[in-house]
């Protein structure tokens, strides 16, 4: 018998919101993240507000700085049950 249950998703987050959440969890400002990545702060702000698409290349750069897998940023609402 499995004593663990899969956690239930409680909220939907956009790609931009996932970038912001992970950045804040790393206790980085947009300016600090801009310095780490070479991506202008204005672009990071636009990504976080879903005004600019993240894109794969920027996702790789941000993921490295944020110490996470790019898929965490690109597919924040991906559900394996629905996708299967």
What is the arithmetic mean of pLDDT over 6-11?
69
Annotate the chain with three-state secondary structure.
CCCCCCCCCCCCCCHHHHHHHHHHHCCCCHHHHHHHHCCCHHHHHHHHCCCCCCCHHHHHHHHHHHCCCHHHHHCCCCCHHHHC
In order of their start, the domains of the chain are 15-78 (1.10.260.40)
Paired tokens of 7: 């956690």
* pLDDT at residue 83, as a whole number: 53
* pLDDT at residue 9, as a whole number: 62
What is the arithmetic mean of pLDDT over 70-80?
79
Under the banding of pLDDT at 50, 70 and 90, the label for residue 32 is very high
pTM: 0.79
Under the banding of pLDDT at 50, 70 and 90, the label for residue 1 is low
Query: What distance in Å separates the CA atoms of residue 83 and residue 64, rounded to the nearest whole number?
Result: 26
For tokens 């950045």, name the residue.
23
């Amino acid at each position: 018998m499995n004593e663990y249950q899969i956690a239930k998703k409680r909220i939907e987050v956009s790609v931009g919101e996932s970038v912001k959440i992970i950045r804040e969890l790393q206790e980085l400002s947009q300016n600090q993240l801009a310095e780490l990545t070479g991506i202008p702060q204005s672009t990071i702000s636009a990504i976080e507000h879903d005004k600019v698409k993240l894109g794969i290349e920027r996702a790789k750069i941000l993921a490295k700085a944020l110490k996470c897998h790019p898929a965490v940023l690109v597919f924040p609402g991906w559900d394996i049950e629905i996708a299967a």
